[in-house]
Amino acid sequence: MPDANGDREQKIRERQQLLEASSIGWMFPIAMGIGFGWGWGMDKLFGTKPWLTIIFTAFGVIAAFINLFKIGLRDDGGTK
């Protein structure tokens, strides 16, 4: 039954794509939160407030955007 297998694979692929797309929503705050939390903790540890918070938050925001671009700009071979 090759058609049934093909349909199932198609459904799985669609579900994976849906999950990846919906991950944009929670990956953003998680990436930024991790950056902010890590910097804040390091600042507390080394007494460098607020520099490490700034630097690591910036890393978190950049990581979140890079992840967004990876998902949002996938399959763009046709336009390159």
Closer Cβ to another protein, 46 or 69, answer by number = 69
Q: The dihedral of CA 24, 71, 34, 55: what is its sign?
A: negative
Closest to 33 measured CA to CA, from 13, 53, 49? 53
Nearest approach, Cβ of residue 16 and another protein (Å):
17
Of 5 and 79, which has the nearer Cβ to another protein? Answer: 79
Q: Kindly tell me which of 15 and 74 has the beta carbon lying closer to another protein.
A: 74
d(CA 76, CA 39): 35
Q: How far does the chain reach from its first CA to its final CA, in angstroms?
A: 37
Kindly state the smallest distance separating residue 54's Cβ from another protein, in Å.
6
Distance between CA atoms of residues 12 and 21, nearest Å: 14
- Residues making contact with another protein (CB under 8 A): 24, 28, 32, 36, 40, 49-50, 53-54, 57-58, 61-62, 65-66, 68-69, 72-73, 76, 78-80
